[in-house]
A and B are shown apart, each in its own frame.
Chain A
Amino acid sequence: MRAHRNHPAWWAFLAHRLSGLALALFLPAHFLVLATAVEEASFDAFVAWTDRPLVKLAEAVLVGLLALHMAGGLRLLALEFLPWSDAQKTRIALAFGAGFAAVLLTLLMAGP
């Protein structure tokens, strides 16, 4: 990474942007698959299909992306609507922490 970008606020920006792009790619597919599975009464079969480790991992990654994007977004809203202070840096850390916690939670939930 270029030297001038190598700091936490920039990493937060990159994580926010990449997770946003990934979610934007995922969502229309998600809506399509969901509606199709229900319409064709194949929902149970579909859920059974998702019961494999690779899918579970992908789901965890998705939840992680969502948590990351939301954490980054909340950080921006805090920055813009709450008065700026050094506590912002703590909030960045907290936001990331919350993101990771969400990922861990999902992984645990999806366990055997």
Chain B
Amino acid sequence: MAELVVDVWRGAGFETFRVPFLESQTVLDAVTYIQRHLDPTLSYRFACRVGMCGSCAMTVNGVPRWTCRTHVSKVAKNGRLEIRPLRNLPVIKDLAVDMAGFFDKWQEAGGRFVPTQPGAQEFARVDPESPERRQASAGIECIGCGVCYSACDVVAANPDYLGPAALNRAWTLVNDARDGDRVGHLAAVADDAGCHACHSQGSCARHCPNHLNPTGAIAGLKRELFRAVLKGEL
């Protein structure tokens, strides 16, 4: 194709732009072309443009993606692209969403490390091959891009649900041998807003650009909460 037809969400509806197609063009390239050459009032976010920061996440043809890592040739349908802001988050303008609620849920899920030895002079010794550390390491690469949160239908249906990213982070802390409040972390994710609302639909793991597995993390939280109840900790 020589030309792309791009439908871009502008708040009250879609606007259509025609963008010249270039080899190895990414969706971010297309959006940037629109903003620089066709309509300078288009608002969108990006930063690194090399797939490290997660700022450029948008919904492309119905799927939440990093636009800088999405080749147009792979996702365009009959030379057409439909670009919307991320789902499940309030829209500030055009393609930019307000991520504050997403990060507040991170806090509510207890996504903060609880230190045990603030004055310690030596590094904590943690075996990287231990089962717990492997579980934590598997989820630690989350950069908070919001793709999983947007893909999740439970988030869409349940305003209180903390969401896959926050729960995934909680799981890494539950498995962190250095953390001082394991039961507290479990308690924070143990209710209708927490891991028990997850139905293992798996859209989060399917669409995570870092190939993380929040479905597995949440399953782990359910398992550990089961054990905690049996042990009488909760």
What residues of chain A have their CB less than 8 Å away from a CB belonging to chain B?
2-5, 7-10, 13, 17, 76, 79-81, 84
Does the CB pair B63–A4 fall under 8 Å?
yes
Does the CB pair B222–A80 fall under 8 Å?
yes
Does the CB pair A3–B61 fall under 8 Å?
yes
What residues of chain B have their CB less than 8 Å away from a CB belonging to chain A?
61-64, 150-151, 153, 199-203, 205-207, 213, 215-216, 219-220, 222-223
- Residues of B with C-beta under 8 A to A9: 200-203, 205-206, 215
The main secondary structure of chain A at its interface with chain B is: helix
The main secondary structure of chain B at its interface with chain A is: helix
Does the CB pair B207–A4 fall under 8 Å?
yes
B64 to A, closest residue via Cβ: A4
Residue with the greatest number of chain A CB neighbours at <10 A, chosen from B201, B207, B222, B223: B201
B65 to A, closest residue via Cβ: A4
Could you name 25 residue pairs across A and B whose Cβ atoms are closer than 8 Å?
A: A3-B61, A4-B63, A4-B150, A4-B151, A4-B203, A4-B207, A7-B202, A7-B206, A8-B202, A9-B200, A9-B201, A9-B203, A9-B205, A10-B202, A13-B199, A76-B200, A79-B200, A79-B216, A79-B219, A80-B219, A80-B222, A80-B223, A81-B223, A84-B213, A84-B219
- Residues of B with C-beta under 8 A to A10: 201-203, 206
Cα–Cα, bound, A102→B63 (Å): 35
A85 to B, closest residue via Cβ: B216
Does the CB pair B200–A13 fall under 8 Å?
yes
Which of the residues B153, B199, B206, B216 comes within 8 Å of A84, measured between beta carbons?
A: B216
Give the Cβ gap from B91 to chain A, nearest Cβ, in Å: 18
Given that A10-B203, A84-B216 are contacting pairs, would A5 and B223 also be in contact in the complex, using a CB cutoff of 8 Å? no
